[in-house]
A and B are shown apart, each in its own frame.
Chain A
């Protein structure tokens, strides 16, 4: 009879269990036999024997545990330990597996991220190229590119950092540039005389390191209007033979910040509009310039057009660059105009020549060496004066004119006139008028020459005792008077 209630570990328990069963069976059989011998039936004997014995299976199990308990416990302990070890090992393996699994997952994620990053890196845009400027140079409209146009790239200090030329489609490329401010210049196309050297300068173009290719188109056409000048009457001129010559000339100056004789730089005040036009004749007074009489020229815009009308020339304005011209070509926009009537008095001898003190003459010749030998000079009888033809007085520049007619003692007696040093056009404080120049049109203006100037000057001279002698008269000087104008209309420019 085997006990199946408690599973026992392997070993040699079966024999022990059988021995116990045999021992108890022997007990029960002996008891039954004795009871039977005493008269009990077999069933009664079996029942009584078992009843006296007690719980057979429980006794068997107890005996079995007494005999094998230590071994069983030891085996179970070992089995339990092994099981615990296996569980721990399993847990460890599981944990390790989970850790490795998590690590593998993390590695997988990291690998995926790295792959994504690598893919993103591969698909990301390439590193920005060095900045450059590229575009089209056109004349008037963008459907008129200028093939072969020369282009200069200027730094903010006005230095040329790159030169290039347009292709047949008018396209230019500056090539790689460093970050910074740049300007572009290109020669004006089909510029009218006398502006053949005119160039146009673009507005500032800022490049930063990530600008890449910055598109910029530049119009190289000469957009301009013009001024047509006239005077309300002939300029004053009074000639008294043997005594003096009162002559005058009208100087007109048009001042535009969009006109310069050299490219604009970031150090200067910004012009009123872009682009600007640069021409060597648009002279500039650098900072610190002063006239010989100490007039500060700094801050006076020298970008001007000058026309001059001399008395006796029947209203023919004269441009020193282009010859006679009654017009000014200017960029469109508002234009400040300065008009000055210059008045001078020189003594005349009996022959109609200008009598000049020797000192004045010598100063003149020293300052104007290029005309020295061309002047027909004649010494006067007094020995301290010299005479020059009156034509010199008329033809030479304002400066020569001023030198020959130096002196200012009577000037204060002529209302509205002031000294003029002959070096600049707009002394500080003098009023200016403004006229609007329209693209492709002439603005017709008329300068108002006041009536009675001649008589006023004559009265001043005649009432001044000092001018009885030529020397005194010569010292009376060379004066100026602002002249106003009015716009009388516009007319199309001829193509």
Chain B
């Protein structure tokens, strides 16, 4: 399953309809999303951004450039590793992949997010909404 398709289904499950995202809500949640997108098969920046945009209907990344700081923070933390390659068009391209540590952190973050979202949904009366992640 291509990542764009997976993200599209995910996005449809989570949000249902298009809506703008509060940056305060996005801050802190972008890194788990990036990890999840990379785990889904995206490897370089534009591809990752496109996957997130498609999955969130363009709501999570109002500006694609905000992806790169998150990528570099994860790389700096050692959760991602990067390799340079050449695109079909002949440009240098940086490909990211999950490191073992990144994989562990992705699992932990998923668990935290599930628990967090359940608590928030409970508070907001949205207990019935099922947020599921495609593994």
**Contact partner, B72, options A30, A56, A66, Cβ 8 Å:** A66
- Assuming the contacts A22-B92, A66-B69, A66-B72, asked whether A31 and B64 have C-beta atoms less than 8 A apart, the reply is yes
Contacting pair B69 A26 (CB below 8 A): no
- A55 and B64 CA atoms in complex are apart in Å by 10
Considering the complex of A and B, which 8 residue pairs feature the smallest CB-CB distances, nearest first? A54-B63, A54-B65, A30-B46, A59-B65, A66-B72, A53-B65, A22-B92, A27-B46
- A residues near B, CB below 8 A? 19-20, 22-27, 29-31, 33, 52-56, 58-59, 62-63, 66-67
Q: Is B89 on the interface with A (CB-CB < 8 A)? A: yes
Closest beta carbon of chain A to B72's beta carbon, Å? 4
A246 to B86, CA, bound (A): 179
Decide: A27 and B72 in contact? CB cutoff 8 A. Answer: no
**B49 cross-chain contacts in A, Cβ below 8 A:** 27
Task: Using CB atoms, name the residue of chain B closest to A53.
Answer: B65
The size of the chain B interface, using a CB distance under 8 A, is 22
B91 touches A25 (CB 8 A): yes
Q: Does B135 contact A (CB under 8 A)?
A: no
Residues in chain B near residue A31, CB distance under 8 A = 46, 64
Q: How far is the CA of A490 from the CA of B46 in the complex (A)?
A: 155
Within 8 A of A (CB), among B55-94: 63-66, 68-69, 72-73, 75-76, 84, 87, 89, 91-94
Alpha-carbon separation in the docked complex, A55 to B76 (Å)? 22
Please report the C-alpha to C-alpha distance between residue A19 and residue B84 in the assembled complex, in whole angstroms: 9
Q: A33-B89, A55-B65, A56-B65 are in contact. Are A27 and B76 (CB under 8 A)?
A: no
Tell whether, in the assembled complex, residue B69 and residue A59 are in contact, meaning their CB atoms are under 8 Å apart. Answer: yes
Distance in Å from the Cβ of B59 to the closest Cβ of chain A? 13
Nearest-neighbor residue (CB-CB) of B84 within chain A:
A19
Tell me if B45 is interfacial: C-beta within 8 Å of chain A: yes
- 21 A–B contact pairs at CB < 8 A? A19-B94, A22-B92, A23-B45, A24-B65, A25-B91, A26-B45, A26-B46, A27-B46, A30-B87, A31-B64, A52-B63, A53-B63, A53-B64, A53-B65, A58-B65, A59-B65, A59-B68, A63-B68, A63-B69, A63-B72, A66-B76
Chain B residues with CB under 8 A of A52: 63-64
Q: Are A26 and B68 in contact (CB under 8 A)?
A: no
Flag if A27 contacts B89 (CB, 8 Å).
no
- Docked Cα-Cα span, A373 to B75, in Å, equals 162
A59 x B66 contact (CB < 8 A): yes
Contacts of B89 in A (CB 8 A): 29, 33
* Chain A residues whose CB sits within 8 angstroms of the CB of B87 once the complex forms: 26, 30
CB distance from A374 to the nearest CB of B (A): 157
Chain B residue contacts of A67, Cβ below 8 A:
72, 75-76
CB nearest neighbor in A for B44? A26
Question: How far does the alpha carbon of A293 sit from the alpha carbon of B44 in the complex, in Å?
Answer: 159
When C-beta atoms are compared, the residue in chain A nearest to B86 turns out to be A26
A59 CA / B71 CA spacing, docked (Å) = 12
Which residues of the partner chain B approach A26 to less than 8 Å between Cβ atoms?
Answer: 44-46, 87, 91-94
CA distance A29 to B89 in the complex (A): 9
Q: Please, which residues of chain B bring their CB within 8 A of the CB of A22?
A: 91-92, 94
Q: Which one of A22, A58, A59, A67 has the greatest number of beta carbons of chain B within 10 Å? A: A59
Query: How long is the Cα–Cα vector from A424 to B47 in the complex, in angstroms?
Result: 158
Interface hits, B15-69 → A, CB 8 Å: 44-47, 49, 63-66, 68-69
Q: Are B45 and A54 in touch, CB under 8 angstroms?
A: no
- In the assembled complex, the Cα of A441 lies from the Cα of B89 at a distance in Å of 156
Q: What is the distance, in angstroms, from B28's C-beta to the closest C-beta of chain A?
A: 16
Q: How far is the CA of A67 from the CA of B63 in the complex (A)?
A: 21
Q: In the complex, A66→B68 CA distance in Å? A: 10
Please, how many angstroms separate the alpha-carbon atoms of A67 and B77 in the complex? Answer: 10
Instruction: Give the CA-CA distance A56 to B91 in the complex, in Å.
Output: 18
Tell me the nearest residue of chain A to B92, going by C-beta. Answer: A22
- A25 to B65 Cα, complex, angstroms: 11
A74–chain B nearest beta-carbon distance, Å: 14
* Cα–Cα, bound, A74→B63 (Å): 31
- Across the interface, which residues of A come within 8 angstroms of B47, CB to CB? 30
Closest-CB distance, A23 to chain B (whole angstroms): 5
Listed residue (A19, A22, A66) with the most chain B CB atoms within 10 angstroms of its CB? A66
**Shortest CB–CB separation between residue B14 and chain A, in angstroms?**
22
List, in ascending order, chain A residues with CB within 8 A of B91's CB.
22, 25-26, 29
**Which residues on the A side are within 8 Å of B66 (C-beta)?**
54, 59
**A-side contacts of B84, CB under 8 Å:** 19
Q: How far is the CA of A55 from the CA of B73 in the complex (A)?
A: 18
Q: Min CB distance, A22 to chain B, in Å?
A: 4
